[in-house]
Amino acid sequence: MRAAPANPPIYNIEKIRGDFPALQELMRGKPLAYLDNAATTQKPQAVLDVIQNYYVSSNANIHRAVHLLAQRATEAYESAREKTRQFLNAERASECVFVRGTTEAVNLAANAYARPRLKPGDEIVVSAMEHHSNIVPWQLVCQATGARLRVIPMNNRGELIMEEYEALLNEKTQIVSVVHVSNALGTVNPVREIGRMAHEHGAVFMVDGAQAVQHMRVDVQELNADFYAFSGHKLYGPTGIGILYGKHEHLESMEPYEGGGEMILSVSFEKTTYNDPPHKFEAGTPNIAGAAALEAALDYVMSLGVERIAAHEKRLLEYAHETLSFNRRVQLVGTAAEKASVISFVMDSAHPHDIGTILDSDGVAIRTGHHCAQPAMERLGVPATARASIGLYNTTEDIDALARSLNKVAEIFG
């Protein structure tokens, strides 16, 4: 095992780890090395406090009543929307729609934007490394409209083949929807270039940013994305809250995805008039506490600086790749030149689930399986991988614990 990097720390990692109660827990009597951040991140105390405080001092429904609790709840909800606008550098807060997470965001765009517009023979382009959440909604739209789903291939390193992507684009291409960072491989896709090429052919461009916003600065205006989606729980916020960013002109032209309270201006049995975006897409009582806690998570990340977080994680990713290279039984899956956060691997004779079980006995938490990216696994010739994924609070000690436990796996299955 090599020595830890001698570079000065980018931030006070011990202080930061102290902000996360879960990291103080022992797992099976051992310190927790939490390396499953691509599945969900742990939450800082500041986020947990906001959730509790909301229910203690601001619990009311929003946009409807004039009493003080309702005013507080509404202010917290809309303040979170404005903070999201700042975080993404959206032009307007109204371009940020609250949803349950990335999955609902893609389904909203697919059903409210794409389905009414597509016709037989139209084409939707996705990539070979997509999460199922950015495949299945488009398949359903294709079944309903007669459109065709086309796939950008990738090479053995887990990188999209851009020449093949260019060849896919034509006058039938209506939508291109790709992942910013692969959850299974860690590949960082050239989304700005992908979007530029999509727009040159008149297509609408959507980005699944579930694995990106916590690792790098995202500017939706700079990317010129028509839609961008992310989940709060992968960004140190709570589950059940996420964002669909959409350009104003698109949201304005879209029909509602769901009907109910809040998304209307007036209702009669003869006719209903819909509310303006984003409220048009937020039917019913939303996750108000989740939105307020998302703002706290964004504040936390922004206070550290996304660029500093990215630099810290880049060091750890390099350290992990070098450290694991000493174990000849470990074979990395996904070796793109541009990567973020994820180390996916397999081992001779040891099934990923066995790897995960042994690591768990040592207090090391990773993910095993196909990671809801079965087409990517099939393309690379593996049914499943073990995946370690890095967050802002991880350390070289976490990587060392991973490496020691993998040595144990090699001995057991030797």
pLDDT number for residue 5 = 53
pLDDT at 163: 98
List the one residue out of 281, 293, 355 whose CA is nearest residue 324: 355
Count of helix runs (H) and strand runs (E) in the chain: 15, 17
Give me the pLDDT at residue 323, please. Answer: 95
CATH code of residue 246: 3.40.640.10
Q: Which two tokens stand for residue 172?
A: 């039938």
Q: How far apart are CA 363 and CA 369, in angstroms?
A: 19
Does 153 fall in a domain? Answer: yes
- 79 & 146 share domain: yes
Helices 68-88 and 288-304 cross at an angle (nearest 10°) of 40
Q: What is the pTM of this model?
A: 0.96
371 assigned to some structural domain: yes
Bond before 120 cis per omega within 30 degrees:
no
Rounding to the nearest 10 degrees, give the CA dihedral for residues 201, 108, 86, 184. -80
Residues 23 and 161 reside in one and the same domain: no
Report the C-alpha gap between 317 and 335 in whole angstroms.
12
321 shares a domain with 297:
no
Angle at 19 between CA 13 and CA 25, to 5 degrees: 95
In a domain, 38, yes or no: no
Angle at which helix 45-57 crosses helix 68-88, to 10 degrees, equals 150
Final residue in a domain of this structure, among 270, 303, 336:
303
Give the 3-state secondary structure of residue 378.
helix
DSSP state of 175: E
Q: How much is the pLDDT for 247?
A: 98
Active-site position among 372, 400, 410, 413 = 372
In a domain? residue 36: no
Question: Same domain, yes or no, for 21 and 94?
Answer: no
Asked if 248 and 389 sit in the same domain, the reply is no
Predicted local distance difference test score (pLDDT) of residue 2: 55
Domain that holds residue 367: 13-31+305-413
Catalytic site residue 372?
yes
Single out the residue in 263, 285, 303 at which a domain terminates: 303
The residue assigned the tokens 């290279």 is 325
**Number of domains composing the chain:** 2
**CA distance linking residue 190 with residue 240, whole number of Å:** 29
How many Cβ atoms from other residues are within 10 Å of residue 149's Cβ? Answer: 15
Q: pLDDT of the chain along its 414 residues, tens only? A: 555 555 788 999 999 999 999 999 999 999 999 999 999 999 999 999 999 999 999 999 999 889 999 999 999 999 999 999 999 999 999 999 999 999 999 999 999 999 999 999 999 999 999 999 999 999 999 999 999 999 999 999 999 999 999 999 999 999 999 999 999 999 999 999 999 999 999 999 999 999 999 999 999 999 999 999 999 999 999 999 999 999 999 999 999 988 887 877 787 788 888 778 999 999 999 999 999 999 999 999 999 999 999 999 999 999 999 999 999 999 999 999 999 999 999 998 899 999 999 999 999 999 999 999 999 999 999 999 999 999 999 999 999 999 999 999 999 997
Outline where 146-287 has alpha helix (H).
Answer: 162-168, 191-200, 220-223, 248-253
Same domain, 134 and 56: yes
CATH of the domain at 400: 3.90.1150.10
- Give every CB contact of residue 49 below 8 A, 6+ residues apart in sequence: 296
Do 139 and 222 share a structural domain?
yes
Examine the domain organization and report whether 27 and 113 are in the same domain.
no
Q: How far apart are CA 103 and CA 376, in angstroms?
A: 18
Statement to judge: residues 194 and 67 lie in one domain: yes
Any domain includes 5: no
Q: Helix %, strand %, coil % for the chain, to 5?
A: 45, 20, 40
Domain final residue, candidates 303, 334, 351: 303
Indicate the angle between helix axes 288-304 and 306-324, nearest 10 degrees.
80
pLDDT score at 9: 84
> Is 108 part of any domain?
yes
Phi, psi of 146 (to 5 degrees): 85, 5
Interatomic CA distance for residues 91 and 99, integer angstroms: 19
Sequence-distant (≥ 6) Cβ neighbours of residue 161 within 8 angstroms: 152, 153, 154, 155
Q: Report yes or no: 169 and 201 within 8 Å, Cβ to Cβ.
A: yes
* Residues 87, 19 share a domain: no
In this structure, is residue 39 part of a structural domain? no
346: left (phi over 0), alpha (psi -120 to 50) or beta: beta
If asked whether residues 239 and 204 sit together in one domain, one would say yes
Q: What is the pLDDT of residue 267?
A: 78
| Element housing 296 (H / E) | helix 288-304
Decide: helix, strand or coil at residue 232: helix
Taking only the tens place, the pLDDT of each residue in 308-361 is 999 999 999 999 999 999 999 999 999 999 999 999 999 988 999 999 999 999
pLDDT, position 165: 98
**Are 178 and 108 within one domain?**
yes
Is residue 64 one of the residues assigned to a domain? yes
Token pair of 210, please? Answer: 């579930």
